[in-house]
């Protein structure tokens, strides 16, 4: 069930909302149970077969969590044993469903070169949202062991893990952010200001998804499909594909998060912000403080710092950064493209830290006030991010390199025929490369449409204002401004799946 589907907007959500507050008048715990059951129904809409695995994971983790909290008479060695058991349980569960096929495929590639018998394919189906609910529960176990968990109500824990706005594609929640809200009395009372803010965020997220992300999806898919099929990608084609995907991914995922945060506000529950204008970043370090914030925070707190962080000297610091980003890339999917993408960002971060260490005051107030310097920092950062996104989007390393060849001009700095048709003067200066099928779908109208979407998208990401900073009246204006787009899109567009569902 998609947030942008008829059944969700006109059926599921109204029932979940009305039932929650009607039941809350009689009993708060029953209302929480209702929301938990509706969340399981929402998850089961995708696959009823996946529900037992989700519940099994929840029950096992909850039981282990009860063994981890420190008490005066606890044996520290026993508690650590339970912690390692919990970590192993979650990681093995994730590894089996997400990485066994990847392991078998790569092992069979090696066996084929050695002319040895191949391993049988298992064709394991990846359960939706397993990466998100596994990481959520790993953090809970670690915090139980550290004595940071105060809330123990099972129904609240079940709701914390399964809460439908975040269950499928995040953000990755922390118990301290959520479980106290399930205990708060104000959560169970309708708040009109929360609803107004939630409607604003949901509307803008829906507009991001339908108007920008879904409109760019066709052009992005054509470009990468043609690259994978061996079509020569020119300079303009390559950059159009890379820039279109950078905007598609941002508007799709941030749109989902805006919708999730907005929906949650209807219930009086605040989810953490997951994006903070990441394409305004002037360094890779800053980018990762702005992009997918919940994942970045998890990787920092539960992987980078336990590895030693920056406490063991410069070499270990950079090695820990690289390992963290490699594993962060692998978390996104079982493909070498994700490993390379994560490794690239690891290298970018190391270079960024070395630059800050060796360069003459790169973060000085004087440098920050110099617009030309900051523009260069921004451009270098954005180009690095875009180059890495190509690898992230590609289904194979070969496809990514086909796009890269075009981007660096290895296939020539020619202009596609679509552009030359409307620029007679340029025809004398440039050689036409034919009617490039990847640019705007192969037509002049498609080229203009893609160009307009890119201009609108960049205007929004570079000049946009955070919704939280807007006042009540401004939110109402935004709702009115986007209503026409949304109503038109809901009734005339086919709902498309959110991109992060695959992770």
3-class SS of residue 415: strand
Q: Which of the 8 DSSP states describes residue 189?
A: S
Domain boundaries, the chain: 6-189, 192-275+436-503
Lowest mean pLDDT, pick from 206-220, 232-246, 446-460: 446-460
Instruction: Count CB-CB contacts under 10 A for residue 334.
Output: 19
How far apart are the C-alpha atoms of 484 and 148, rounded to whole Å? 47
Q: What angle do CA 30, 130, 204 make, to 5 degrees?
A: 75
User: From the candidates 156, 174, 175, 332, which is the catalytic residue?
Assistant: 332
Identify the pLDDT of residue 483: 55
Please return the burial class of 195, using the count of CB atoms within 10 Å of its CB with bins 0-12, 13-18 and 19+. middle
Convert the pLDDT of each residue in 34-90 to its tens digit.
Answer: 999 999 999 998 888 899 999 999 999 999 998 887 765 567 788 888 999 999 999
Q: What share of the chain is helix, strand, coil (3-state, %, to 5)?
A: 75, 0, 25
Residues in the chain: 503
Asked if the model's pLDDT at residue 370 lies above 60, the reply is: yes
Predicted structure pTM score: 0.87
Q: Where are the alpha helices (DSSP H) in 281-437?
A: 284-290, 293-299, 314-332, 336-358, 365-369, 371-393, 397-407, 417-420, 424-429
Asked if the model's pLDDT at residue 503 lies above 80, the reply is: no
Stretch 326-332: mean pLDDT, rounded?
92
Does the annotation count 115 as an active-site position?
A: no
How far apart are the C-alpha atoms of 468 and 474, rounded to whole Å? 11
How far apart are the C-alpha atoms of 79 and 136, rounded to whole Å? 20
Most confident segment among 199-203, 276-280, 358-362, 458-462: 276-280
Instruction: Count CB-CB contacts under 10 A for residue 128.
Output: 18
Name, in order, each residue with C-beta under 8 angstroms of 484's C-beta and a sequence gap of 6 or more.
none
Convert the pLDDT of each residue in 199-229 to its tens digit.
Answer: 888 888 888 888 899 989 988 999 899 999 9
Stretch 448-456: mean pLDDT, rounded?
85
Q: Are 31 and 23 in contact (CB under 8 A)?
A: yes
3-class SS of residue 196: helix
Identify the pLDDT of residue 416: 65
How far apart are the C-alpha atoms of 42 and 297, rounded to whole Å? 27
Between 465 and 326, the more confident residue is: 326
Q: Are 160 and 178 in contact (CB under 8 A)?
A: yes
Identify the pLDDT of residue 492: 47
How far apart are the C-alpha atoms of 160 and 164, rounded to whole Å? 9
Lowest mean pLDDT, pick from 69-73, 96-100, 275-279, 458-462: 69-73
How far apart are the C-alpha atoms of 503 and 132, rounded to whole Å? 8
Convert the pLDDT of each residue in 103-132 to its tens digit.
Answer: 888 888 888 888 888 888 788 888 888 888
What mean pLDDT is reported for the chain? 84
Q: Are 463 and 281 in contact (CB under 8 A)?
A: no
How far apart are the C-alpha atoms of 330 and 251, rounded to whole Å? 22
Taking phi over 0 as left and psi of -120 to 50 as alpha, with beta for the rest, 361 belongs to left
Bond into 171 cis (ω within 30) = yes
How far apart are the C-alpha atoms of 27 and 25, rounded to whole Å? 6
Stretch 248-256: mean pLDDT, rounded?
93
Phi, psi of 189 (to 5 degrees): -120, 135
Q: What angle do CA 78, 82, 87 make, to 5 degrees?
A: 145
Q: What angle do CA 382, 219, 332 make, to 5 degrees?
A: 55
Convert the pLDDT of each residue in 392-442 to its tens digit.
Answer: 999 999 999 999 999 998 887 766 666 666 666 555 555 555 555 566 666
| pLDDT band of 196, cuts 50, 70, 90 | confident
How far apart are the C-alpha atoms of 257 and 271, rounded to whole Å? 9
Q: In Å, what is the CA distance from 50 to each residue of 55, 130, 244, 281, 449?
A: 9, 10, 34, 39, 40
């Amino acid at each position: 069930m998609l947030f942008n589907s008829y059944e969700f907007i006109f059926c599921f959500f109204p029932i979940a909302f009305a039932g929650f507050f009607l039941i809350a008048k009689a009993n708060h715990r029953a209302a929480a149970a209702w929301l938990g059951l509706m969340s399981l129904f929402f998850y089961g809409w995708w696959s009823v077969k996946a529900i037992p695995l989700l519940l099994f994971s929840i029950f096992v983790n909850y039981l282990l969590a009860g063994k981890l909290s420190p008490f005066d008479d606890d044996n520290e060695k026993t508690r650590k044993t339970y912690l390692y058991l919990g970590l192993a349980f979650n990681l093995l569960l994730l590894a089996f469903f997400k990485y066994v096929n990847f392991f078998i495929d790569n092992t069979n590639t090696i066996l084929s070169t050695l002319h040895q018998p191949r391993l049988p394919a298992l064709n394991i189906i990846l359960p939706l949202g397993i990466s998100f609910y596994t990481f959520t529960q790993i953090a809970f176990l670690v915090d139980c062991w550290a004595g940071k968990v105060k809330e123990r109500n099972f129904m609240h824990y079940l709701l914390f893990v399964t809460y439908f706005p975040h269950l499928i594609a995040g953000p990755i929640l922390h118990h301290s952010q959520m479980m106290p809200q399930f205990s708060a009395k104000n959560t169970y009372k309708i708040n009109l200001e929360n609803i107004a803010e939630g409607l604003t965020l949901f509307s803008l997220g829906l507009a991001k998804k339908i108007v920008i992300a879904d409109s760019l999806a066709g052009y992005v898919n054509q470009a990468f499909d043609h690259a994978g099929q061996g079509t020569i990608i020119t300079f303009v084609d390559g950059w159009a594909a890379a820039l279109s995907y950078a905007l598609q991914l941002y508007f799709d995922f941030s749109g989902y998060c805006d919708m999730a945060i907005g929906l949650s506000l209807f219930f009086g529950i605040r989810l953490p912000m997951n994006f903070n204008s990441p394409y305004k970043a002037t360094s890779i370090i800053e980018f990762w403080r702005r992009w997918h914030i919940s994942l970045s925070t998890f990787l920092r707190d539960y992987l980078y710092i336990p590895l030693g962080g920056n406490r063991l000297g410069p070499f270990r610091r950079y090695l820990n950064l690289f390992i963290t980003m490699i594993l962060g890339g692998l978390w996104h999917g079982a493909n070498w493209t994700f490993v390379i993408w994560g490794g690239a960002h690891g290298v970018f971060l190391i270079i960024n830290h070395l630059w800050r260490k060796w360069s003459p005051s790169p973060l000085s107030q004087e440098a920050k006030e110099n617009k030309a310097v900051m523009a260069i920092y921004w451009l270098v950062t954005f180009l690095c991010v875009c180059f890495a996104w190509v690898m992230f989007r590609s289904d194979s390393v070969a496809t990514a390199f086909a796009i890269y060849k075009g981007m660096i001009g290895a296939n020539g700095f020619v202009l596609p025929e679509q552009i030359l048709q409307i620029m007679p003067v340029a025809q004398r200066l440039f050689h036409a490369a034919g009617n490039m099928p990847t640019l705007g779908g192969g037509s002049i109208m498609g080229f203009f449409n893609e160009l307009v979407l890119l201009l609108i998208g960049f205007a929004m990401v570079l000049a946009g204002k955070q919704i939280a900073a807007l006042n009540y009246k401004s939110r109402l204006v935004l709702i009115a401004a986007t209503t026409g787009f949304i109503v038109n899109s809901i009734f005339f567009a086919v709902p498309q799946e959110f991109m992060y569902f695959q992770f």
